[in-house]
């Protein structure tokens, strides 16, 4: 009997310790965690997309209310719309990181054109995930009368890592990653991300392993190289037009414009790989730290290249392109952070979207209901 009570006391103590750790971790994530920690509280592992936003959320995220529907799409109100006229597919900048749902460029442009918009932006998505998402939306009854599809992917394709699976797939691009079976990784991530405390423990373990590892074997790849991005974007435009819808492209804004022209991060990663081959682990780790510290400059440079590709695709496919990079520039009041537009930034983008929509939608024939 004493053994039973000792075991029960141990289990209770373990449960209380875990509960306390969970509560303290959630408080820490809310007030002191980084953007990745906060984002992973509103997304979950998914067997089709690797992750997607959690369904039926009614919470606060980045200081603003967040409502999602049964599929995890951001909503203006608890009452979902009927059929819609405008669909936006894109990453967190389209989702509206740090701004109210009604202030996103989708909502503002729809309201000002008296159409009904649907924000299908998903945090962290690349073009590869976006094409999969469009296939899902094709079968959504709410989209049957949609006339316009706004496509705004880009910045996440320049990332070297993903929210999930990055430990084992840093050298795979997204097309390769999604072509293989990654279900076991997703099941593990799904288990871990159910708890902020467990997630913090696993992330801390991974950070410790990285800090004590012998550098990198090879430079991590982009999630989608620009050559593949161009081809995939053209294929998505063809799919949108096959559904008798009009695509409008938005390129990638980035508050930090490039000042250097060298490939410092790539050089640092290559140096790390060389030192690793020679078993110089301390030097290899130092080169990795240099590579990571130079990533913002590398992204700034690659955004220019990416937007050039988007412009070329727009010309080749006769698809209008809203130049968010030039429209927002580097003005601090137009950005919530270096990647995400502020409320005023969204309004500026919406004004240009409204012009593009007027050019591609025959309002004399539309049967759209007024936007609420």
Give one DSSP letter per residue of 146-175, joined into a string: --EEEE---GGGG-S--SSSHHHHTTS-HH
Residue 67 has pLDDT above 50, yes or no: yes
**pLDDT at residue 161, as a whole number:** 80
How far apart CA 122 and CA 201 sit, in angstroms, is 26
Mean pLDDT score, 251-268:
84
Q: What is the band of 344 on the pLDDT scale with cuts at 50, 70, 90? A: very high
Kindly report the backbone phi and psi dihedral angles of residue 191, in degrees, each rounded to the nearest multiple of 5, phi listed first: -65, -45
pLDDT exceeds cutoff 90 at 277: no
Confidence of residue 15 (pLDDT cuts 50, 70, 90): low
Tokens of 199: 């997630």
From the list 226, 244, 241, the residue with the least C-alpha distance to 318 is 241
367 pLDDT more than 50: no
90 or 175, which is more confident?
90
Confidence of residue 350 (pLDDT cuts 50, 70, 90): very high
For the residues 163-170, what does the mean pLDDT come to? 60
pLDDT at 205 over 80: no
pLDDT band for position 252 (cuts 50, 70, 90): very high
* Average pLDDT estimate for 233-248: 96
More confident residue, 14 or 270: 270
Binning pLDDT at 50, 70 and 90, where does residue 195 land?
Answer: low
In the chain, what percentage of residues exceed pLDDT 90? 51
22-48 exposure pattern, b = at least 16 Cβ within 10 A, e = fewer: eeebbeebeeebeeebebbbbbbbbee
The pLDDT-based confidence of 370 (bands split at 50, 70, 90) is: very low
Return the pLDDT at 240. 97
In the chain, pLDDT over 70 holds for what percent of residues? 77
Q: Indicate the domain borders of the chain.
A: 1-32, 42-360
Residues with Cβ < 8 Å from 44, sequence gap 6 or more? 51, 52, 53, 54, 190, 193
- Using 50, 70 and 90 to split pLDDT, how confident is the model at 328? very high
Q: Can you read off the two tokens belonging to residue 174?
A: 């997204």
Name the most confidently modeled range: 60-69, 184-193, 264-273: 60-69
Structure tokens at 47: 């067997």
Q: Which among 310, 330, 308 is positioned nearest to 259, based on CA atoms?
A: 330
Lowest-confidence region among 20-34, 149-163, 245-259, 323-337? 20-34
What is the end-to-end Cα distance of the chain in Å, rounded? Answer: 66
Q: Quote the mean pLDDT of the chain.
A: 85
* Token pair for 269: 């990663």
Where would I find the H helices in the chain? 2-31, 35-39, 92-95, 105-112, 127-138, 166-169, 174-179, 183-192, 196-212, 226-242, 264-277, 281-293, 295-317, 324-328, 343-360
What was the pLDDT predicted at 178? 85
Which phi and psi angles does 69 have, rounded to 5°? -90, -170
What's the pTM value of the predicted model, to 2 decimals? Answer: 0.85
Q: What is the pLDDT of residues 206-220, one digit of tens each?
A: 666 666 678 777 778
Dihedral angle over CA of 245, 250, 251, 253, nearest 10: -160
pLDDT at residue 204, as a whole number = 61
At the fourth CATH level, which superfamily is domain 42-360?
SGNH hydrolase (3.40.50.1110)
Residue 103 three-state SS: helix
According to DSSP, the residues that pair with 321 across neighbouring strands are 249
Residue 187 pLDDT greater than 90, yes or no: no
The token duo for 291 is: 């590579």
pLDDT, residue 231, reads: 97
d(CA 137, CA 361) in angstroms, rounded, equals 20
Which among 178-187, 238-247, 294-303 has the top mean pLDDT?
A: 238-247
Residue 267 has pLDDT above 70, yes or no: yes
Q: Tell me which residue has tokens 């394709």.
A: 157
- In contact, 239 and 174? CB cutoff 8 Å: no
pLDDT confidence of residue 307 = 98
Residue among 243, 256, 234 at smallest CA distance from 318: 234
Angle at 267 between CA 311 and CA 251, to 5 degrees: 15
pLDDT bracket for residue 96 (50, 70, 90): very high
Farthest-apart Cα atoms in the chain, separation: 83
- At 37 the pLDDT is 75
Q: Residue 10 is encoded by which pair of tokens?
A: 């141990």
Window from 101-115, 208-222, 279-293 with minimum mean pLDDT: 208-222
Question: What is the pairing mode between strands 148-151 and 246-250?
Answer: parallel
């Amino acid at each position: 009997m004493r053994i039973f009570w000792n075991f029960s006391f141990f289990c209770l103590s373990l449960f209380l310790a875990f509960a306390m750790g969970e509560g303290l971790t959630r408080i820490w994530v809310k007030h002191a965690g980084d953007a990745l920690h906060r984002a992973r509280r509103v997304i979950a592992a998914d067997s089709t997309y690797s992750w997607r936003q959690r369904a039926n959320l009614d919470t606060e995220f980045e200081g603003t209310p967040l409502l999602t529907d049964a599929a995890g799409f951001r909503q203006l109100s608890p009452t979902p719309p009927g059929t819609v006229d405008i669909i936006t597919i894109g990453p967190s900048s389209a989702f509206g990181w740090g701004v109210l749902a009604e202030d996103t460029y989708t909502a503002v442009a729809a309201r000002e054109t008296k159409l009904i918009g649907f924000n299908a932006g998903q945090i962290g998505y690349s073009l590869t995930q976006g094409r999969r998402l469009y296939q899902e939306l094709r079968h959504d009854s709410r989209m049957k009368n949609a006339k316009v599809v706004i496509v705004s992917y880009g910045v996440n394709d320049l990332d070297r890592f993903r929210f999930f699976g990055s430990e084992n797939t840093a050298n795979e691009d997204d097309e390769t990653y999604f072509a293989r079976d990654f279900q076991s990784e997703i099941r593990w991530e799904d288990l871990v991300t159910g708890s902020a405390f467990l997630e913090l423990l696993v992330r801390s373990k991974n950070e410790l392993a990285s800090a004590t590892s012998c550098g990198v074997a090879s430079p991590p790849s982009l999630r989608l190289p620009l050559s593949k991005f161009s081809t995939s974007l053209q294929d998505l435009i063809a799919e949108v037009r096959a559904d008798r819808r009009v695509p409008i492209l938005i390129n990638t804004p980035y508050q930090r414009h490039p000042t250097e022209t060298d490939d410092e991060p790539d050089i640092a990663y290559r140096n790390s790989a060389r030192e690793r081959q020679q078993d110089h682990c301390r030097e290899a780790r130092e080169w990795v730290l240099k590579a990571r510290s130079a990533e913002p400059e590398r992204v700034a440079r690659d955004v220019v290249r990416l937007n050039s590709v988007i412009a070329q695709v727009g010309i080749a496919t006769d698809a209008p392109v809203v130049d968010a990079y030039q429209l927002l520039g580097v003005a601090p009041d137009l950005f919530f952070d270096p990647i995400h537009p502020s409320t005023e930034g969204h309004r500026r983008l919406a004004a240009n979207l409204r012009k593009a929509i007027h050019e591609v939608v025959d309002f004399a024939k539309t049967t759209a209901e007024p936007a609420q």
